[in-house]
Structure 1
Amino acid sequence: MKNLLLLLVVLSGTLGLAQDKTNNIKGKVTYLDTPLVNAEVRVSTSGETVKTDTEGKYAVAAAPGQIITYSYPSMRSMEIVVEDVTRILNVELTPEVNQLDEVVVSKTVLKSQKEMREEYALNKNIINTAFGFIDKETTNFSISIVEGKDLNPIGIDIATSLQYAIPSIKVERIPPINPVATIYLRGASMGMFPAIYDVDGLVMREFPFFLQVENIERVAVLRGLGAVVKYGGAANGGVIVINTKGANYYNNNTQVPNDLARLKGNIYDGGALASEKLEGDKPSYLTRLLASETEEEAKNTYREQIKIYGSSFYYVLDAYDYFSNRWNNKEFADKIIEENNAILKDNPIALKVLAYTYQAEGRLEEANDVYKEIFTLRPNYAQSYMDIANSYRELGEYQKAAAIYARYGYLLEEGFLRAEGDLGIIMERELNNLIALKGRELLSKRELKKLVLDDEFDGTRLVFEWNDSEAEFELQFVNPEGNYFKSEHSLLADADRIKDEKISGFSSEEYHIDDSIRGVWQVNAKYFGNKSLTPTYLKATVYHNYGSASQRKETKLFKLSLRNVNQQLFTVTNLASVVSN
């Protein structure tokens, strides 16, 4: 990607990312809907600490970028990154130690080697060793696992990267006698036993200096007697297990791709509800609008309601959608947006919904204008770059789209932006796809020959985006045979991921459906809520025949408001069988 950026654009200057604004934040801390009294709410940097009152309520001041930590005895602490729009944070804590259910589980929770091998690509708690796969969640000895993407490639060798990524690692070098690193997991004062290394099943005593950080998939550190028993006395100092990319993924030696929906034999029970069966999902004002028999009656109802609900952007956007799609009156719908612009502007959460709505309606120029507004409000959000670049691409302005991707890459390399998690992969895929399909309009033949793009898969690509970074939900993908795969986006499932998303400023994820086996996939969602107890809008972009000359895409928009109910979103027809993230 770096070479391509140099071909496209050269930028100079800096981007000011400082945020001087302070938000007054309030909310409630609970457990199972019960207020937690005297729960501690602490703001990073400033160190300001407050306690919740008898109703579990609190109020605190914090600036965007700061972290608020919620803690209570016997409860798991929770960290939330403050954003520009953060005003209300209602937090529900969970017990530190989960007690066993009264019912005895009759089926073993231990996974077979075959199950772990198949889950390796998805489950970051699994590491492959010389003695088989190990699951961090079920092993009886201490193990720490770090993803390769979380290792900083800057340093003398991978020992430097490991030193900053894994606690209690000590790296010794004795140049010029022995410039190669020696790693101690317990410190030089505890027996002077160095760690040994297990690289893709090959056990060695010497540090594997020949490995590059870019080629590492996963690293695990094994400590304790369990490691010694498996590796013998040589492991007295612990074991560092290194899995390289491509060497540990499941291969069933057939041409049939691995279907993650089948990993645990999950059978879909058909329990997801269609939108028309979701009772209580629609606010009362929308129910009344939908009951209007004529357009004029609906307009009169709107004129009454706007006096009551005019301060809510949810109402304004619902009213726009109603008149735009129910009565196909774009002029009146646009007038609603124009007259209530004050409630939308300067609010990136509301503006995102408007942009999503325009895209779903095919009003691409209007969507582009809104994305420009969001970019102005959030120039330090990685999502802003992807949204505006993709919007320009939808308009056929490929040079502008490529320039935005290039600008993002430049700011990333210079350290003005951060890219935690998977966003870098998504952004690079977007750029690669643009060049693969429109490269002749962007680069010369000589530049195209020099360019090496990553191989793309054949099939359908699904990209999900959400307007509120506090949103927590679960996506369920049901394959043509009735098995399902689930992906949960929540603080409980992966707090580090949520934190990384907010620090980087992105709210999107992608899934791939391979086209080798055709059929109908169903996509469902279960909404867990957000910290302000308001609805969240989920946009799904479906890319059919992804990466081919016949690639096409469609945009779908869903309003999630009813909590803890599995609901049907859409189906992907005559495509695919494999879901992976």
Structure 2
Amino acid sequence: MNHFRLIFTLLVSLLSFYSYSQTVFRGVVLEEGSKKPIVAKVGVSDQGAGVTSGTNGRFLYRKYDQVVSPESELVISAKGYESVSISGDDLRNLYNITSTIYLNPGVSKDVKPLNEAKDIVIFWDVSASAKSQNSNKAIDFVNAYLATLSSPAVRFVAFNDKVVLDKKITAAADGTFALSEIIKNINYTGATDYSLIDASNTDVAIVVSDGEQSFGNIELPRTSRLYTVNTVATANHERMMADASFYNGSYIPLFATTADQATERIQAGGAFKKIDFSKAQATVKGVVSSTNGPIQGAAVSLRGTLNEYLTKADGTFNIPAVEGDVLQIRYLGMYPKDVLVTKDPVIQVEMIPQADMLDEVLLTGNAKSKEKKVDAGNGVAKSKESVGYAVNTITAENIKPNATFLGDAIRGNFAGVQVLGPPGSERFLIRGGNMSINNELPPLWVVDGAPFADVPYYLDPQNIKSITILKSAIATVRYGTIASGGAFLVKTKAANPDAVKAKGIVDRALVKGNDYSETLADMVVETSPYITALDKESTVAAKYKKYQALSKNFKNSVSFYADNAEYFQKIAPAKAELIRLQLAEVAGENVKALRILSYLYEAAGSYKRNAQVSERIVALAPREAQSYRDLALAYTLSGDYNKALELYINMLGERILGVDFSEIEVPLGNELRHLVALHKDKIEFNRLPNEWLTNNLEMDIRLVINWSEQDAPFIFQFVNPKKKFYTWDHTLFDNKERLLKERKMGFQFEEFVIDDAKAGEWIVNVQYLGEEATFAIPPYLKYTVYRNYGTSKETKEVKVVKLFEQKDKVSLGRINL
């Protein structure tokens, strides 16, 4: 079936049918009548803290990680004015336009005066990261604040990824609350879920935390007052300030002030002294560049941690570190580099291109001169002078309009190349390759990156973009001894690559010269020493205790947590969930680690947590197309079908500003059609064009791969029942254009469809072509196979693969049709 045509129809329909995008509202709040600007609170009811308009009444509400649901309401409120609530299509019609909202003077639900607060809830973060908090300082502040109130009703909630303790507490004879007695026996562990900070009918909420939430957002009544309390310099200060400000309170940084001073400031109603939080912890500045100029988007990480930062457009970075630390710098096409932090005020990092990537195109800076470029056999354009070996190229301009056979395109266009035999069955000889008395080895043909031993007679000369010949053994080292006769590199005027993907891989495995003769072992997961140590224990309790002991030595190892989570998933799923939560906590803001965590949650069937992790990834990487696609899929799996629908409409309707989804439109369209096919009765289907409500979707096999490290080099191979193979390369060497698009648009997944194929066994192989040390976090791969995709008989299999261990080609799986 022609999936591409159907997706194109969907795009046209969505572009003309809808006019809204992700959760972005902008505008101005004015008083009805006088038109004077109002300082107002602007927020969506189920999206946590919102924003406050400025003195000119203007506001910008932007939450890339949040999706409007049918229950969502945009609420605008201000003291002395009647609140305004907007929902449904009225709300969507405000997306990304500058709107004017008028408030009428009247009775508003105001925050209670400070001395009249009665209902108090203390939320105490007992996650693993909160263990570093100075409890005594926090307790001193809480008691000092509560002492200013008259007979408050106090509730204490200890939470991490769940509510650990929830109880009412009363003051002792001296008027203080014995919080130290309450928390002394609580174990600090797990992740932080801010969605648990949800208290109705609350006058004041006090949140003691470091602001490093793993999941969720704070949800409080608009009339509540929130004090966020933190005692350590290394914390998410911006998050805690924003939440407290929106909910009419203050951020209390007890590492920079005392409990009494903070309480006095609250009572006085004055602003806290502004603190430069950037000076609260030591940071290191630097610049990453190459011979072509500064490098934007290089990953700079601190060895031994999961802290990773990307360089800016001018190549600069700023990372928390001290003298003696080691920085790891990684960038596509460059040799990785480790740099010792010294006393230098600015670290200068000069990166060296890999030998076969000398003409780096991703760098900023201006080219010095225009040169004649040729294809060097790896997809990289180089000047003839810089290639260093015999090479020659022709383009479509050199191919005559009446050329009918492949030989017509080559004959007479290359010095040293002979074309022998009748049209349609020619033999090709390359001088310096196979033109010798005793050696007539045929040349290798590489068509659009795929190598073939047989001549591709099927090629239409009028569909050829360029042909390059490599005459030297040095030039063909990439292809091994099979290229001893030289090589022809052919690039076609490719049909739309999405059309190829939509059509599937069936036809791609029917070309000549790709007979499969390998015998590969099935993928075997290497047993890590720490897993071996667990195997020696006889009970689940003993195994988990051993894991806890070992975890002290692997605090920042993503592989350690992933291995153990998968190990316990087979014998004790509840323990596996605890390990995944620990990974959620240590991953922090590292998107690569969070993506691996997302893979683990999906494979374990923990779909709600997977959606929460995916929301966090969107918040951290809002300019990457992959973030939104993964969140939409996560919402579908978690049963949040209308949220998924919202995202798919936004992505395919090109309504998420600054993000380009053009390269993944086909798989997005397939997933939207899948949502409609299986869950039409659970979505707002009236939001879709009619042709999409009756459109049938059915695929024999849909295979999707995701990889955690965008630049990870690997090959993916399919072998059909007739032992013909098709190889998909994910390397800068062979698929440069694809990798550049991934980096530019921010995506790292691929869809393969096997449809209308003959019965038999398909083999799926994989091989990692990089080095483990190349990346700060070794790359993982999520492999998902759908059978009968889009039907009531659909089944799904998910594997999380340690890609970095597959250095020899192995069979990832077998699919029977």
Classify the TM-score, shorter chain: 0.5 to 0.7
1:43 to 294, 299, 312: 294
Q: How far apart in 2 are the matches of 1:525 and 1:110?
A: 23
1:3 correspondence with 2:13? yes
- Equivalent position of 1:262 in the other structure: 510
For residues 307 and 414 of structure 1, what CA distance do their matches in structure 2 show? 42
> Which of 541, 545, 559 is 1:314 aligned to?
559
Which residue of structure 2 lines up, in the alignment, with residue 358 of structure 1? 601
Report how far residue 259 of structure 1 moved: 3.5
Is the Cα–Cα contact under 8 Å of residues 701 and 789 in structure 2 kept in the other structure? yes
1:283 to 519, 522, 528: 528
1:23 CA drift (Å)? 8.3
CA distance in 1, matches of 2:355, 2:470: 28
Q: Cα gap change, 1:71/1:319 in structure 2, threshold over 3 Å: closer, same or farther?
A: closer
State yes or no: 1:346 paired with 2:614: no
Residue in structure 1 matched with residue 31 of structure 2 by the alignment: none
- Which one of 278, 298, 317 corresponds to residue 543 of structure 2? 298
Aligned match of 1:273 in 521, 528, 548?
521
Q: 1:136 and 2:467 equivalent?
A: yes
Q: Identify the residue that residue 442 of structure 2 maps to in structure 1.
A: 108
Written as runs of structure 1 = structure 2, the 5 A alignment for 1:83-162 is 96-97=387-388, 106-109=440-443, 128-129=460-461, 136-137=467-468
- Deviation track 1:106-160 (CA, whole Å, cap 9, x = no partner) reads 4433769xx99x999xxx9x97455x8676345999998665769xxxxxxxxxx
Q: Which of 793, 805, 808 is 1:565 aligned to?
A: 808
- Who is 2:112 aligned against? none
Question: Judging changes above 3 Å, is the alpha-carbon distance between structure 1 residues 390 and 57 closer, same or farther for their aligned structure 2 residues?
Answer: closer
Aligned to 2:799, the other structure's residue is in SS state strand
How far apart, in 2, do the equivalents of 1:404 and 1:275 lie?
A: 36
CA distance in 2, matches of 1:509, 1:136: 28
Q: Would you say the 8 A contact 1:475–1:524 is kept in 2? A: yes
2:683 and 2:359 map into 1 onto residues whose CA distance is: 49
Q: SS at the partner of 1:428?
A: helix
Equivalent residue, structure 1, for 2:578 = 335
Letter in 1 for 2:20: V
Among 403, 413, 419, the alignment partner of 2:661 is 419
**Change beyond 3 A, Cα 1:81–1:361:** farther
8 Å CA contact 1:81, 1:502 repeated in 2 = no
Contact 1:460 1:513 (8 Å CA) reproduced:
yes
Partner of 2:724: 483
Q: TM-score, normalised by structure 2?
A: 0.45
Q: Mark the CA change 1:98 to 1:489 in structure 2 (over 3 Å): closer, same or farther.
A: farther
Deviation at 1:356, TM superposition (A): 0.9
Q: Which amino acid aligns with 2:13?
A: N
Q: 1:470 aligns with which of 708, 711, 734?
A: 711
Partner-residue secondary structure (3-state), 2:802: strand
Q: Determine helix, strand or coil for the equivalent of 1:555.
A: strand
Structure 1 residues 348-393: Cα deviation after superposition (integer angstroms, max 9, x where no partner): 1111111111211222122112111112111221111111111111
- Relative to structure 2, which stretch is displaced further, 528-537 or 469-478? 528-537
| Letter of the structure 2 residue corresponding to residue 379 of structure 1 | P
Q: Against the structure 1 CA distance between its residues 105 and 405, is the aligned structure 2 distance closer, same or farther, given a 3 Å change threshold?
A: farther
Distance 1:527 1:292, change over 3 A: farther
Counterpart residue identity of residue 3, structure 1: S
How far apart in 2 are the matches of 1:359 and 1:16? 24
Distance 1:415 1:60, change over 3 A: farther
Q: Which amino acid in the other structure matches residue 764 of structure 2?
A: V
**Percent identical:** 24
Q: Which amino acid aligns with 1:522?
A: I
Rounded to whole Å, the distance in 2 between the matches of 1:148 and 1:362 is 38
From 620, 624, 634, the equivalent of 1:391 is 634
Q: Sort the Cα spacing of 1:308 and 1:483 in 2 relative to 1 into closer, same or farther, 3 A.
A: same
Which amino acid is the alignment partner of residue 585 of structure 2?
A
Does the alignment pair 1:535 with 2:784? no
Q: Aligned in 2, Cα 1:262/1:138: closer, same or farther, shift over 3 Å?
A: farther
Q: How does 1:377-388 map to 2 (within 5 A)?
A: 377-388=620-631
What is the CA deviation profile of residues 391-413 of structure 1, one whole-angstrom value per residue up to 9, with x for unaligned ones?
11123332211101122245x35
- Which of 673, 677, 691 is the aligned partner of 1:432? 673
Q: Does 1:323 align with 2:577?
A: no
Distance across 1 between alignment mates of 2:567 and 2:658: 41
Aligned to 1:501: 742
In angstroms, what is the RMSD of aligned CA positions? 4.9
In structure 1, distance between residues paired with 2:489 and 2:731: 26
Is the contact between residue 2 and residue 409 of structure 1 (CA under 8 Å) also seen in structure 2? no
Structure 1 runs not aligned, ≥5 long: 28-38, 62-67, 83-92, 151-216, 218-244, 251-255, 576-581
Structure 2 equivalent of residue 400 of structure 1: 643
For the structure 1 residues 481 and 288, does the alpha-carbon distance in structure 2 shift closer, same or farther, using more than 3 Å as the test? Answer: farther
**5+ long unaligned stretches in structure 2:** 1-10, 27-61, 65-277, 296-312, 317-328, 330-334, 342-349, 365-379, 391-431, 472-487
Residue-pair matches, total: 426
Q: Provide closer, same or farther for how the CA distance between residues 56 and 546 of structure 1 changes in structure 2, counting only shifts above 3 A.
A: closer
What residue number does 1:241 align with? none
Q: Which has the larger radius of gyration?
A: 2
Most deviating of 463-472 and 341-350: 341-350
One-letter amino acid of the structure 2 residue matched with residue 432 of structure 1:
R
2:764 to 523, 526, 532: 523
Distance 1:23 1:510 in 2: 40
Would you say the 8 A contact 2:444–2:451 is kept in 1?
A: no
* Paired residue type of 2:803: L
Change (3 A) 1:265 1:415: same
Distance 1:292 1:3 in 2: 60
Q: Aligned partners of 1:73, 1:483: CA distance in 2, in Å?
A: 33
Per the alignment, in what secondary structure is the counterpart of residue 299 of structure 1?
A: helix
Using the TM superposition, give the Cα deviation of residue 74 of structure 1 relative to its aligned residue in structure 2, in angstroms.
8.4
Residue by residue over 1:287-345, the C-alpha shift from the partner in whole angstroms, topping out at 9 and shown as x without a partner, is 333444433442343233111111212212222222222x22x3322333444543212
Query: Which residue matches 2:126?
Result: none
* Aligned 8 A contact 2:703 2:783 in 1: yes
The CA distance in 2 between the partners of 1:444 and 1:525, in whole Å, is: 39
Distance 1:414 1:72, change over 3 A: closer
CA distance in 2, matches of 1:413, 1:318: 39
Question: Is 1:542–1:553's contact at 8 Å kept on the other side of the alignment?
Answer: yes
Q: Is the 8 A contact 1:24 1:60 kept in 2?
A: no
